[in-house]
Amino acid sequence: MQLSIVSTLYYSEPYLEEFVERICASVEQISNDYELILVNDGSPDDSLHKALSLQQQYARLKIVDLSRNFGHHEAGMTGLEQAQGEYVFLIDSDLEEAPELMLDFWQAMQNDQNVDVIYGVQEQRKGKWFEQFTGYLFYIIFNRLSPVKISTNALTVRLMKKNYVQAVTQYQERSLFVAGIMAHAGFNQQPWVVTKTSKESSSYTFAKRLRLFLTCITSFSTKPLEYLFSLGCGLLLLSILAMLVVGFNYLIFSASISTITAIFLAAGLVIGSVVSCTGLLGLYLAPMVTEIKQRPRTLIKTIFPGVD
């Protein structure tokens, strides 16, 4: 098979029919030897039923129905594992990224056969000021802390060769940050500037974004542990210094009240450092527990294959 298109479904019903129509029209300008894989990530709306009805019209549509909601990244990886094409185009189904980008990416890859991946980046991040600011801050922090660098404002949309997809799907971690994994895999990857539209609402709440941020940092960097160790050593030295000052004052000036105050200060520094160190260690240890259990990233309930 020449081409696989992979997308996920979560509250996708309002966009699904237009998405399928546009992506199929685009890919058919390249080849009729393709498959369109839609992974239903436990969507609470009627995305699955809508996809099943579209399957009657689009014979090359393959639907993978997960047993529940596992997460956007996990569902996307499941779709990549199902893909059979020599080239794989990954894109969200919410139409924020134009399906017609498939044609641009395909032409660019054909012009340079040494390229393994072409991925989208936003020249200007979408959304309101808070989303733009926090997104910009995320990339600064991640790239400062991690030896693996990712492009600022990188997007889901990308065209990949089969050997790259096979390499990416070998990553088996459960605490999943797909952009980090895709950068870590290496190969010859080239960015392509695209314009991404913005919906009024997003399923990515602030809490989800915060959890993803913590996953990203703890998955790809140990520098926070190094910084915390340095902080703990510094606080310990300050505590020792404070106690020496207290002892000196007590012996020379009999400053008993200041002694008690300083002892509480020193104790607070020590307790604060211990608590913060323990909390950060917990952030690193919690994903390790998940990895050790070796539970599957997703569970497939049903596969509805396309009709040849």
Which conformational region is residue 43 in: left (phi greater than 0), alpha (psi within -120 to 50 degrees), or beta?
Answer: beta
The DSSP secondary structure of 7-60, one letter per residue, reads: EEESS-HHHHHHHHHHHHHHHTTT-S-EEEEEEE---SSSHHHHHHHHHTT-TT
The pLDDT tens digits of the residues spanning 203-239 come to 555 566 666 666 666 666 666 666 666 666 676 676 6
φ, ψ for residue 174, nearest 5 deg: -90, -30
How many whole angstroms separate alpha carbon 216 and alpha carbon 260? 43
The pLDDT tens digits of the residues spanning 28-57 come to 999 889 999 999 998 999 999 999 999 988
φ, ψ for residue 55, nearest 5 deg: -65, -25
User: How much is the pLDDT for 121?
Assistant: 85
How many whole angstroms separate alpha carbon 24 and alpha carbon 17? 11
DSSP reduced 3-state for 138: helix
φ, ψ for residue 156, nearest 5 deg: -65, -40
CA angle 72, 169, 73 (to 5 degrees): 10
How many whole angstroms separate alpha carbon 240 and alpha carbon 259? 13
The pLDDT tens digits of the residues spanning 84-133 come to 999 999 999 888 888 999 999 999 998 888 999 998 888 766 556 666 66
From residue 245, alpha-carbon distances to 231, 241, 267, 271, 273 in Å are 21, 6, 14, 19, 20
Q: For residue 227, which amino acid is it? A: Y
